[in-house]
Chain A
Amino acid sequence: MNVDESMLDVYIYETQQLLESLENTLFAGENDKKLNTEQINEVFRIMHTIKGASAMMEFEHMAKLAHSLEDMFALIRENDAGSYDWPAIFDNVFSAISFFNGELAKLLDKQTMDGDSSDLIAKLKLLVARMKGESAAPAATAKKEPEAVTAETPVFDHKGDEAYYKVKLFFEENSQMENIRAFGVVQAVRKISVRFAHIPEDLNGDAATEEIRNNGFLVFLQSGENPDRIKALLETTLFLKSCSVLPIDGDDEEVPAAIRQGRDTAGAEAAHETLQAKADDHQANGEGGVSLESVAKQNFISVNVNKLDNLLNIVGEIVTAQSMVINNADFGDRQHDSFDSAAQQLHSLINELQDIVMSIRMIPVSTLFQKMRRLVRDMSKKFGKQIELEIIGEETEVDKNVIDYLSDPLLHIIRNSVDHGIEDAATRTSNGKPAYGKITLEARMTGSDVIVTITDDGGGLSRDNILKKASEKGLLTKPESEMSDKEVYGLIFLPGFSTKDQVTEFSGRGVGMDVVRKNIGVIGGSVTVDSTPGMGTTHTIRIPLTLTIVDGMKFNVGKMNFIVPTVSVRSAVKPDVKDIFTDPEGNEMIMLLGNVYSLIRLSRFFNIEDAVTDLADGMVMHIASEEREFCIFFDHLDGEYQVVVKKLPNYLKHCSSSLDGVSGCAILGDGSINLIIDVNSVQ
């Protein structure tokens, strides 16, 4: 394949986007059991584009499949009120999407695209044949439709007095894709000429683009129109820089033989077809307003994630450097009014920059959630269960990394819910539940975490089955009777645990919930499960927002400086020693505003020797995380800072017996290093 890499990337990216929006269109339609006119046009447009792009990249099997689909939808488009076998249509299009996605995945992995689309094409042909049988009327026109492009030969109205013209066009520099623009010109010329030829003859590929860019696009035509009208027509071309129309003698030797011999440009038709597809798209983009979809598409660019990472790092450094400048000791304590106001302006600009950079990396979970819709659809068909997937909060935005790591766990949990969780319709009805099972997928944001819950209204987890299985596998560490339900449910996350005896296509492949826990753990998240027998199961995934710049409260314990994220801080007070007491087990507790919290001395937790020990001399901070509330005792509060979170060096684990309680570090404006407290692991 002698296609250059970047073109391939663009092809993969664009086709994936198209498939995604195709899938969404289908889902929207499937609810109504049919597609409306707009949706049919949309599907047709997408297939047309994929066909064109695939043919351009010389992926024959993809192009052929897209072509078959296009055929089918062309037929439907002709008579969209007709009655069709919609379930079969949906199934076939979904299979085709899977096929395309599979092939694209191979392409991404640099494997050969060895998929065979002939089966799918045969099925589609059969379907089309049946449609034609059922609705004979549109069949005739529909048959013509897919061939429309090639059939569109100029209408000869040869009066014999047409003059020859030589047209030379130059496009604006940087207008891009000159060959496709030239193709637009060809289409326009076709309508007004008896016959014509153009140079370069073959418009496909970079060579043509290059030639048009350098030498202009040359068209020889024979037409009955007068030169001014030809010129006026051609000047409507987008991005046109100059256009000249010169009458020439038909016997001029410059005139290509093609025209003189009366040959039309049918030879180049095959090439035109692929260009047509691209040109269609292009027109939609360029002229605007044709369809909202294509206009919106132009507003996005794809960027390598590494570049964003670099940008984020630099912005982090800028934040630090800014505070080094503004709080520079060289200024002393004197007032600098103009400096201060300039500094203030810089500060707010940098804040804005930082917000923008953070938001760039954030993408909504909707794409991921839509994938689950497909999974639930396919699986419920397969298992003969009726399941509805409800999606809540799909606009919730998370860091791109999070999406990547969330995908597999979600797939796995939902497979489990469909396979093991939701009962079949008969069982459900006999248990007094609606025949339709329901899975709810919800994403929401709390201050510092994103929480994704997957809830099904199935049979719930069986305590007895889990215990039986766990004891068979030797996974129990304490007597069954002593374990709480929550502890029992937690067993399913242990490696080697799988409740299903039989391996099915979708779930229970030996890799189980332990992999889910591991994947979520990689991005610093946690997963828990809760269940009510007979009522259903809820999985809760909690993932920290990977914010690399946080607001934090700075304080010290002995010589060590710490930062705790401000979102976790409820209050910081000088404690009243009377409010602090010790429980029978020796744990210190503190009474704050009528509530009792455990009090953790950070000096003990981190083994810091030179810290304040007298409760009257230190301070107490009330900390609340999603999981718990507690208080910490420390020496001295320093104030609030905005800090850039840095990963702890890996080597540090060689230097410390335990880094528990520390999630990272931050460099402040004065260059000092502060440790960031992980509020969930301090105890």
Chain B
Amino acid sequence: MDEQNITGLEDDIEEYLVFTVDKIDFGIDIGLVQEIIEIQPASPIPNGLDFCSGIINIRGMIVPVLDMRRKLGFQPVEYDDRACIIVILLEAELVGAIVDSVQDVIHISARDLLDSPAISGGEQAYYTSKIASIDGKIRQILNVNAVFDIGNDD
């Protein structure tokens, strides 16, 4: 591979945090992730929607937590100690997402990312924007705007 190609590649590489929900690997842009904390009981909120587990206290900040299984349309389970909360920064506020487990941080170059095939595949297809195949494993990249429902209401 010549030098030009390598630099070209480096420019397009992005980092994703890979996590699992119901045995499926998802990726989320690492730039959005603030921290990963262990799962903790959330305080319920009034009239809470089913995908919202409630609110938790992170160092004095009130953070709403979403259950990714419910949000992405999977069967809810009792979470074990591998489960954790990915805390992301959305519009200057923190929001938590409960996932089954966190795997790894991977580098994906732009040309390995494919547009999500437009199959009417239920909730999770709607919530994925791209698909990457790395080492024979499929990773679906989360469409954060769709999952967290921002910018398309009010």
Contact = CB atoms under 8 A, between A and B. Distances in A.
A117 to B, nearest CB: 45
A551 to B, nearest CB: 20
Interface stretch (A366-374, A378-386, A648-656): A648-656
7 contacts: A559-B43, A560-B43, A646-B62, A650-B93, A651-B91, A655-B48, A656-B49
A79 B149 CA distance: 75
Interface string A663-683: 001010001111100000000
Contacts of B148: 651, 654
Chain A: interface residue count, which band? 20 to 34
Contacts of A658: 46-47
Given A652-B64, A672-B57, A657 B49 contact: yes
A664 to B, nearest CB: 9
A660 to B, nearest CB: 8
B62 to A, nearest CB: 5
Given A649-B93, A651-B90, A654-B148, A607 B46 contact: yes
A665 B48 contact: no
Interface in A58-115: none
Contacts of B90: 651
A656 to B, nearest CB: 5
A193 interface: no
B55 interface: yes
Contacts of A608: 44, 46
A320 interface: yes
Interface of B: 43-49, 51-52, 55-57, 60, 62-64, 66, 90-91, 93-95, 148-150, 153
A559 B44 CA distance: 7
A672 B153 CA distance: 31
A73 B48 CA distance: 69
B45 A672 contact: no
Contacts of B60: 317, 320, 667
A661 B64 contact: no
A662 interface: yes
A560 B44 contact: yes
A634 to B, nearest CB: 13
Interface in A267-319: 317
Given A654-B149, A659-B47, A661-B46, 10 more contacts: A560-B44, A606-B47, A646-B62, A649-B93, A649-B94, A655-B45, A655-B48, A657-B49, A667-B60, A671-B57
Contacts of B48: 655-656
Contact of B62 (A320, A656, A667): A667
B57 A656 contact: no
Interface of A: 317, 320, 559-561, 606-608, 646, 648-652, 654-659, 661-662, 665, 667, 671-675
A254 to B, nearest CB: 65
Contacts of A648: 62
Contact of B55 (A650, A657, A661, A665): A665
Given A651-B95, A655-B64, A662 B46 contact: yes
A97 B132 CA distance: 69
Contacts of A655: 45, 48-49, 51-52, 64, 66
Contacts of A659: 45-47
Given A651-B95, A672-B57, A560 B64 contact: no
Nearest to A662: B46
A561 B41 CA distance: 14
Given A649-B55, A649-B64, A656 B93 contact: no
A583 B44 CA distance: 32
Contacts of B62: 646, 648-649, 665, 667, 673
Contacts of A671: 57
Smallest CB-CB A-B distances: 8 pairs: A655-B52, A606-B46, A673-B43, A657-B47, A658-B47, A656-B47, A654-B149, A655-B64
Q: Kindly name the residue among B46, B64, B153 whose own CB sees the greatest number of chain A CB atoms within 10 A.
A: B46
B56 to A, nearest CB: 7
B17 to A, nearest CB: 20
A654 B50 CA distance: 11
Contacts of B49: 654-657
Nearest to A647: B62
A672 B43 contact: yes
Contacts of B150: 654
Q: Kindly name the residue among A659, A661, A673 whose own CB sees the greatest number of chain B CB atoms within 10 A.
A: A673
Nearest to B65: A655
A655 B150 CA distance: 12
A651 B64 contact: yes
Contacts of B45: 652, 655-656, 659, 675
Contacts of B57: 667, 671-673
Nearest to A607: B47
B91 to A, nearest CB: 7
Contacts of B46: 560, 606-608, 656, 658-659, 661-662, 675
B63 A649 contact: yes
Given A654-B149, A656-B49, A672-B57, A561 B64 contact: no
Nearest to A652: B64
Nearest to A557: B46
A675 B42 CA distance: 13
Nearest to A610: B44
A376 B149 CA distance: 50
A526 B78 CA distance: 46
Contacts of B56: 673
B58 to A, nearest CB: 10
Contacts of A559: 43-44
B98 to A, nearest CB: 13
Contacts of B47: 606-607, 656-659
Contacts of A673: 43, 55-57, 62
